Amino acid sequence: MELCYQLPVLPLDRPVPKHVLSRRGAISFSSSSSLFGAPDPRQLSQRRGAISYDSSDQTALYIRMLAVTNKTIKSSFVFTPDVRVRSQVGFEPERRGSHPYLGVDFRTLHSRAESAGSIPARRIRRLFSFQRHLLSSRLLRGAPHLNPLHILDEDYCGQAKCMLEKVGSWNFDIFLFDRLTNGNSLVFLTFHLLSQYGLIELFQLDMVKVRRFLVLVQEDYHNQNPYHNAVHAADVTQAMHCYLREPKLAQSLTSFDILLGLLAAATHDLDHPGVNQPFLIKTNHYLAALYRNTSVLENHHWRSAVGLLRETELFSHLPAEDSLSIERQLGSLILATDISRQNEYLSRFRTHLDENDLNLGNASHRHFVLQMALKCADICNPCRPWELSKQWSEKVTEEFFHQGDIEKKLKLEISPLCDSEANTIASVQIGFMTYVVEPLFAEWARFSDTRLSQTMLGHLGLNKASWSTMEPEASGSSEDGESDPARSSEEPSSRALTQGSPES
């Protein structure tokens, strides 16, 4: 699939070599008219992912992701009442299973606004593309493209590939990688890891289905969320990869375990609304009623992930019992990220370590370790280098405070840590590190006493000290033996983190 993103340099008067035509790419050169007036892909080629070439037009480039079938499935897929198909303004409400394609005509991209306005709305279909949101919204609004779309920019792809060579580094800058991939870090990184572990070949996964699944996962994250977005999911997936490479896990985990761990990391916050569970409950949100006020968001993330798995038929070639097993165990991993159950999992982990009875030859024990690894990956931001950790801290606090502003407008009780007038970024982070992050990573270091664990604890201590210098009253002590009011107020707020933090 590399061919999809790095075009070979070919003169327009030469035919495409046969070895290129035989690849499962998604590239076709065509002289067809307009962006949404492209011909039926079946007229261009009968085989999936084939490449066709037409030298009569040197400015038109069409990128196609052709799927197994061209049939339009009219019926909507429903896994639970939670799984639903959302349509964009200007798009016909057809399900994703219709396998549409994307045509990119650079004459259209750089034309004036009025040229886009002449496109009949009825001919617009849901775009299967990394650029769907950006491209479709701008075209439908008739807005000119001020910045070039680096869809196939070789320089950007080259730098991104160089970064992927160091994807196992704890200093991996996911923000830079997201920029280099034009906002597609989750798709690129997860696909790379699935390939690197040999999971695509081992489980005989269709690469077109894998791509389609990852694209749908990425676009179901809400990019308007400052924190719970696709970049966070990519960051958690990269952290999970680092943990999977730790000696104890690398020597014990099966390929099935690794597949589950990566999929769970990529989907663990799927369709996160940017508010926490208590907010959903006190606003009588339908998700709270659907899941009976129990692990509301985590259940939603899990069911949404299963919906996409079934919709893309990613595991349809496997026996039914294996597919169901993947769905159940995926749910078990995602549900473990519920921070309101933090003490439950931490106590169980500590007991295993105290009794030294973790047997990674046992499937249930391996699964439990995967749960703990995902929990660590989910809240590992304070353990990153300061330059990265600080950005995440600012983003998550922005999301907290945004929820608090909504609660003020609705005249609801403001959730802990969400009041921008009573909290600062420093106070929120110091409390979170002290009462949530440090206990978890201290136990993880007991389980996996490696250089990575010591590095994470070192960054955690330095980051906490950095925030303390910005919030001196948090670490100061009052005179005459009186307790520090700042710390006293910090403790209940921090305990509330494990009872429904906005990070849950």
Contacts of residue 203, defined as CB under 8 A and 6 or more positions apart, other chains included, come to 255, 259, 315, 318
Report DSSP state, residue 434.
I
CA nearest neighbour of 467 among 499, 423, 418, 503: 423
C-alpha 9/C-alpha 366 separation (Å) is 48
- Ramachandran bin of 356, using left for φ above 0, alpha for ψ from -120 to 50, beta for the remaining angles: left
Which amino acid, 434? T
Q: How many CB atoms lie within 10 A of CB 331?
A: 18
Mark 289-320 as b/e (b = at least 16 C-beta within 10 Å).
Answer: eebeeebbbbbbbbbbbbbbbbbbbbbeeeee
**Residue 345 corresponds to which tokens in the numbers above?**
């999992």
CA 208/CA 322 separation, integer angstroms: 21
202-232 CB burial, b ≥16 within 10 A, e <16: ebebbbbbbbbbbbbbbbbbeeebbbbbbbb
User: Which residues, 6+ apart, have CB-to-CB distance to 130 below 8 Å?
Assistant: 151, 182, 183, 184, 187, 215, 218
Residue showing tokens 């973790």: 358
Instruction: Report the interhelical angle of 185-196 vs 207-220 (nearest 10°).
Output: 140
**Could you tell me how many helices (H) and strands (E) the chain has, helices first?**
25, 3
CA distance 1 to 200: 12
Q: Each residue of 453-463: b (16+ CB within 10 Å) or e?
A: beebbebbeeb
Considering 228, 268, 300, 352, which one is annotated as catalytic? 228
**Those residues with Cβ within 8 angstroms of residue 155's Cβ, 6 or more apart along the chain or in another chain:** none
Q: Look-up: residue for tokens 């299967």? A: 128
Nearest to 465 by CA among 433, 491, 497, 490: 433
What is the C-alpha to C-alpha distance for residues 153 and 157, in angstroms, rounded to an integer? 6
> 317 catalytic, yes or no?
no
Could you say which DSSP state residue 10 is in?
-
Active site positions, annotated:
228
